[in-house]
């Protein structure tokens, strides 16, 4: 196999951070998940075997070395012994990885019952694991039950994994999100999370989350999702009548936070938003939203069945300065900010409980990637403000953000992203290209003192640099990009000359690229080949395989990319079964 052409910057950064003394456990788990999801088992075995040897007192590297050793088929007995050693020294991750490794072995290997015991244990304590890790548990249990001849539990576990409609040749078990063309994308299975007494967050009911705060004078709702019927489903599960909502506070004007306002507003409901909300709302109406999977049907924005104009929203109280609001004895402090995504952001702080609702001010994409919005400096400003406020807990507009960007990560994120901003601007002044910038300084030394911030930093880093670059450079680039714009059809025609007009040559190159894990380049080649040779079966299959590989790569850390590739491939996933 030839060497991979496009290096995975995130994997290289995770490898460096995982080797730091005192590395955060989440960094090791994230690295292992990305390697497993992309089939890089031999790479994972080599890396974690060396790490375990250098850190003999650490259990997690040992468990991961055994996990990848079994997956790679490199002396399975020794790999299992490593997993057993790790499991005898610690509870939790060791059982998770041992269970998955054993469940992946052939039915005649005799490990099925042990895999079942481990994975059933993980489900019993599932709240101790990040939500994206649970789908793999059900997926593994389905295989282990089947190997043990337990057909009924196997079928139930398979259904609980939500993967019954997923392609069998795609490794999509390492995420908690689900999507269908009809229902749109949900970042986790629906659940009601109580983050403080009387403060609940509806997660996974819609593309974005929304919350309800009980006060002595009624309910205060924070945000309203994408569609009324999804908000009403959450209201029913919480036991709230939408007519009891006295105030609705909107964190910003994006469609996934305002589309369901009709479910939580009545004649007397006071709607509160930032002073720039109306202008931002108008800008959003002018955007073309090209992907159906983000919203699904029954939504007035971005879906194929909704020609109607977006719902009208009248703001009763526009907020231009820091404002304190008391509702039934509960204090809400409203902070109008720019943030990283939109100019009309409004954060909501409950001082008594220490809960800060941030909306999407820290969305890793710094605005929707296909819209002209977002502010790197706004993100840094809001991180400084959050550090000054010192809240107890952050509640973001999406569940993955709430799990990833916690209060503990703020100081490290601020330091590392400030360094990244300064380095990026200096690179732009030197005339460097965007790819040069992305390849440089993959992991700042600043993070050694803030290792808990490694995960969120890497989730934000590439998008931060892309937004910074496009806001501070022209449409003619130092490497000549933009001087002579060339469309996909013209590029495909030129590549067809190289291929002597033969579809088989496109296919041969795409196969090589897929074999060396260059899925993005394989997608380009297969797509270009299909543009010149429509209907070619092998090119169509290779294009689909490239989309699967890209879904696998981004399923854990980049839900927008994951979702777009899923739509292009026509892949649907069901929700993971909720815990009892």
Q: Which of 301, 283, 254 minimizes the C-alpha distance to 396?
A: 254
Instruction: Name which of 273, 360, 255 is nearest 314 in CA terms.
Output: 273
Q: Is residue 484 part of a domain?
A: no
Both 194 and 299 in a single domain? yes
**Quick check: 95 and 121 in contact, CB under 8 A?**
yes
Scanning 133-253, the segments in alpha helix (DSSP H) are: 134-147, 151-161, 228-238
Range of the domain at 17: 9-161
Q: Tell me, yes or no, whether 195 and 138 share the same domain.
A: no
For every residue of 65-87, DSSP letters joined together read: HHHHHHHHTSSHHHHHHHHHHHH
* CATH number where 151 lies: 1.25.40
**Shared domain check, 188 and 309:** yes
Q: Do 222 and 298 fall within a single domain?
A: yes
- Residue 333, CB half-sphere, CA atoms under 13 Å: how many? 12
Residues 206 and 150 both lie in one domain? no
Residue 289 has pLDDT above 80, yes or no: no
* CA–CA distance, 272 with 320 (Å, rounded to integer): 11
Residue 296's pLDDT is 86
This prediction's pTM: 0.94
Over residues 271-292, the mean pLDDT reads 88
- Mean pLDDT computed over 33-38: 96
Asked if residue 1 has pLDDT above 60, the reply is: no
Are residues 562 and 427 both part of a single domain?
A: no
Domain contains 367:
yes
407 in a structural domain: no
Say what the pLDDT of residue 304 is.
47
Do residues 20 and 546 touch, judged by C-beta distance below 8 A?
Answer: no
- Same domain? For 52 and 85 the reply is yes
Confidence (pLDDT) at 285: 80
495 and 557 belong to one structural domain = yes
Q: Does 4 fall in a domain? A: no
Residue 513: count other Cβ atoms within 10 Å of its Cβ: 25
pLDDT band at residue 578 under the 50/70/90 scheme: confident
Give the N- to C-terminal CA distance of the chain in Å, as an integer: 46
500: left (phi over 0), alpha (psi -120 to 50) or beta: left
Query: How many angstroms separate the CA atoms of 351 and 353, rounded?
Result: 6
Statement to judge: residues 191 and 310 lie in one domain: yes
CA-to-CA distance for 358 and 380, rounded, in angstroms? 14
**pLDDT band for position 580 (50/70/90)?**
low
The maximal CA–CA distance of the chain, rounded, in angstroms, is 76
Output the pLDDT for position 440.
87
pLDDT at 298: 74
567 close to 293: Cβ distance less than 8 angstroms: yes
**Better-predicted residue by pLDDT, 310 or 418:** 418
Cβ pair 547, 565 in contact under 8 A: yes
Q: Does any domain span residue 403?
A: no
Residue 213: which pLDDT band, with cuts at 50, 70 and 90?
very high
**CATH no. for residue 381?**
3.60.15.30
Same domain for 49 and 116? yes
Nearest alpha carbon to residue 135 among 60, 215, 183, 189: 189
Q: Distance between CA 410 and CA 399 in Å, rounded?
A: 17
429-462 per-position pLDDT tens digit: 999 999 999 998 678 999 999 999 999 999 999 9
CA atoms within 13 A on the CB side of 36: 26
Name the 3-class secondary structure at 156.
Answer: helix
Q: Which two tokens stand for residue 39?
A: 């089939």
Q: Which of 104, 130, 161 is the last residue of a domain?
A: 161
Q: What are phi and psi of 204, to 5 degrees?
A: 80, 0
**4 in Cβ contact with 516 (< 8 Å):** yes
Based on the structure, what is the number of domains in the chain?
Answer: 4
> Model confidence over 299-324: pLDDT tens digits?
766 544 545 566 789 999 999 999 99
Asked whether residue 374 is domain-assigned, the answer is yes
Q: What is the DSSP letter of 272?
A: E
* Residue 579 located in a structural domain: no
Burial of 308 (0-12, 13-18, 19+ CB in 10 A): exposed
Share of residues in the chain with pLDDT > 70 (%)? 98
- Residues 378-385, mean pLDDT to the nearest whole number: 98
| Cβ count within 10 A of residue 237 | 14
pLDDT of residue 308: 53
pLDDT band at 291 (very low <50, low <70, confident <90, very high): confident
Q: Are residues 150 and 289 in the same domain?
A: no
Binning pLDDT at 50, 70 and 90, where does residue 237 land? very high
Last residue of a domain, one of 440, 471, 502: 471
Geometric angle at alpha carbon 381, from 196 and 379, rounded to 5°: 80
Contact 451, 27 (CB under 8 A): yes
Least confident among 403-407, 440-444, 540-544, 570-574: 440-444
Q: Is 219 helix (H, G, I), strand (E, B) or coil?
A: strand
One domain for residues 202 and 276:
yes
Q: Which of 461, 459, 456 is nearest to 419 (CA)?
A: 461
The pLDDT, as a whole number, for residue 351 is 98
Evaluate whether residue 479 is within a structural domain.
no
Cα 399 from Cα 203, distance rounded (Å): 6
């Amino acid at each position: 196999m030839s060497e991979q052409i496009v290096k995975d910057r995130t994997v290289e950064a995770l490898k460096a951070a995982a080797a730091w003394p005192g590395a955060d456990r989440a960094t090791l788990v994230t690295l292992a998940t990305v390697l497993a999801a992309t089939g890089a088992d031999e790479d994972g075995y080599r890396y974690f075997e060396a790490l375990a040897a250098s850190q003999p007192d650490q259990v997690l590297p040992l468990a991961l070395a055994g996990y990848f050793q079994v997956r790679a088929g490199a002396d399975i007995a020794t790999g299992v012994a490593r997993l057993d050693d790790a499991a005898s020294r610690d509870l939790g991750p060791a059982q998770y990885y041992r269970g998955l490794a054993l469940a992946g072995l052939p039915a005649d290997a005799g490990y099925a019952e042990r895999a079942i015991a481990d994975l059933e244990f993980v489900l019993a304590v599932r709240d101790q694991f990040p939500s994206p890790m649970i789908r793999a548990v059900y997926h593994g249990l389905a295989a282990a039950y089947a190997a043990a001849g337990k057909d009924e539990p196997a079928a139930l576990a398979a259904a609980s994994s939500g993967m019954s409609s997923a392609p069998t040749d795609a490794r999509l078990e390492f995420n908690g999100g689900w999507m269908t063309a009809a229902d749109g994308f949900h970042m986790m299975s629906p659940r009601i999370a109580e983050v403080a007494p009387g403060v609940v967050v509806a997660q996974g009911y819609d593309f974005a989350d929304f919350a309800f705060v009980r006060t002595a004078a009624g309910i205060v709702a924070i945000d309203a999702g994408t569609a009324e019927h999804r908000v009403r489903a959450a209201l029913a599960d919480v036991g709230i009548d939408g007519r009891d909502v006295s105030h609705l506070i909107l964190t910003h004007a994006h469609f996934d936070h305002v589309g369901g306002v009709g479910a939580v507003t009545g004649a007397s409901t006071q709607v509160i938003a930032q002073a720039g909300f109306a202008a931002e709302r108008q800008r959003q109406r002018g955007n073309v939203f090209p992907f159906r999977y983000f919203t699904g049907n029954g939504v007035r924005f971005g879906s194929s069945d909704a020609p109607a104009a977006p719902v009208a929203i009248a703001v009763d109280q526009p907020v231009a300065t820091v404002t304190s609001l008391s509702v039934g004895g509960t204090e809400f402090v409203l902070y109008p900010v720019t943030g990283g995504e939109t100019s009309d952001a409004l954060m909501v702080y409950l001082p008594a409980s220490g809960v800060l609702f941030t909306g999407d001010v820290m969305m890793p994409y710094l605005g929707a990637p296909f819209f002209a919005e977002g502010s790197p400096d706004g993100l840094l400003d809001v991180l400084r403000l959050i550090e000054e406020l010192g809240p107890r807990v952050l509640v973001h507009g999406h569940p993955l953000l709430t799990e990833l960007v916690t209060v503990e990560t703020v100081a490290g994120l601020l330091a590392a992203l400030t360094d990244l901003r300064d380095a990026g601007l200096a690179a732009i002044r030197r005339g460097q290209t965007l790819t040069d910038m992305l390849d440089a300084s993959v992991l700042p030394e600043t993070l050694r003192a803030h290792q808990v911030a490694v995960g969120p930093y890497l989730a934000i880093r590439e998008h931060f640099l892309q937004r910074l670059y496009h806001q501070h450079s022209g449409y003619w680039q130092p490497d000549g990009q933009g001087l002579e714009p060339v469309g996909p059809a013209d590029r495909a025609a030129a590549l067809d000359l190289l291929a002597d007009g033969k579809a088989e040559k496109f296919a041969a190159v795409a196969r090589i690229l897929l074999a060396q894990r260059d899925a993005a380049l394989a997608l380009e080649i297969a797509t270009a080949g299909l543009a010149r040779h429509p209907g070619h079966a092998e090119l169509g299959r290779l294009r689909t395989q490239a989309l699967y590989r890209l879904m696998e790569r981004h399923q854990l850390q980049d839900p927008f990319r994951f979702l777009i590739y899923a739509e292009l491939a026509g892949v649907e996933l069901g929700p993971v079964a909720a815990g009892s």
